[in-house]
Amino acid sequence: MARPIKVLIIDDSALVRQTLTDLISADPSLEVIGKAADPIFAVQHIKKEIPDVITLDIEMPRMDGITFLKTLMAQCPVPVVIISSLTQEGSNLALQALDHGAVEILSKSEIRNTKEHLEESKIRIIDAIKAAYMVPVKRVGIARKTQPTTPVKKSASIYKTTDKVIAVGASTGGTEALRLFLRQLPVTTPGVLITQHMPAGFTKSFAEHCNKICEITVTEATNGERVLRGHAYIAPGGKHMELVRSGALYYIKISDGELVNRHKPSVDVLFNSVARHAGQNAVGVIMTGMGKDGAQGLLQMKEAGAKTIAQDEASCIVFGMPKEAIKLNAADYVLPLTEISKKVH
């Protein structure tokens, strides 16, 4: 048998450390090899044994998580799963952490040890760690600069409802992939619906960040709003997003519900709704991510007459979701990330 994935937990809360330990240890393929109350203690542990994956809090005494992450990625790169609070500041810092090399984000609300949330928490945490373990991390210089966040001047246009729609699904590595994809889209682009596996509290900050750097308007989706040309809508974390139609107009439906393919929001939920309500007037795109969420939905879109695209292996951080879609013959095109935006029109 392959050895377990070695996990180091860094969090200043003893309760959080113990809850994480219990949840992670429930999977025999994972092993908690250490717990640290702050990055200073963590460094001492890493000198003795390098973990396969680190779970990292942001706000901690003596050294904050961002500073530690920068140093770690410059000197001893290890896949990192960020576990942060749901405050606006915490959300922004967690997104900064992705720029500095972290590969997954979880909310601290995911690890509340209550009976009703325990099973979902365990699934999300274990899947995030396993996904992070698959990511090939690279050494990142401390002086690394993130993408510019100065606002892009929006082109003047009349935002009319279109009878076409683009549906995009992504998971691990998806935040970076989506930023590149969205930056390449002109304001003439049909409405874009995006399901990115991300917890509640972070999608709004992510949408605001993308809106600053894109020509199109990017927002967190709200229930009942119309889908407009030149707009992209990101599914709220912790909620499913669907496309619905009333006459010639498209609208967004946001709902709660069970996990689908171990996720909420689920890409399959979005893709299946687009297949039903848009059919041949839609384009489906499945991007980097672990697991199979979205593969069946992309096939449903293809069978309904939609154009379907999968990101190729070379440009994926984790070639899981696109691979599953390709195995089902659900993708009309398999393209590098940089070429996808050219094919969605």
C-alpha span between 67 and 343 (Å, rounded): 39
Residues 6 or more apart whose CB falls under 8 angstroms from that of 340 comprise 181, 285, 287, 309, 311
Cis peptide before 199 (omega within 30 of 0): no
197 is catalytic: yes
256 is catalytic: no
CA separation, residue 278 to residues 66, 219, 269, 274 (Å)? 42, 21, 14, 5
293 is catalytic: yes
Nearest Cα residue to 125 out of 94, 104, 96, 99: 104
C-alpha span between 147 and 74 (Å, rounded): 18
List the catalytic residue out of 107, 121, 171, 205.
Answer: 171
- Please state the three-class secondary structure of 213-259 as a single string: HCCCEEEECCCCCECCCCEEEECCCCCEEEEEEECCEEEEEEECCCC
Beta bridge partners of 6: 31
List the catalytic residue out of 268, 293, 312, 315.
Answer: 293
C-alpha span between 43 and 57 (Å, rounded): 14
List the catalytic residue out of 91, 99, 107, 197.
Answer: 197
- Among all residues, which ones are annotated catalytic? 171, 197, 293
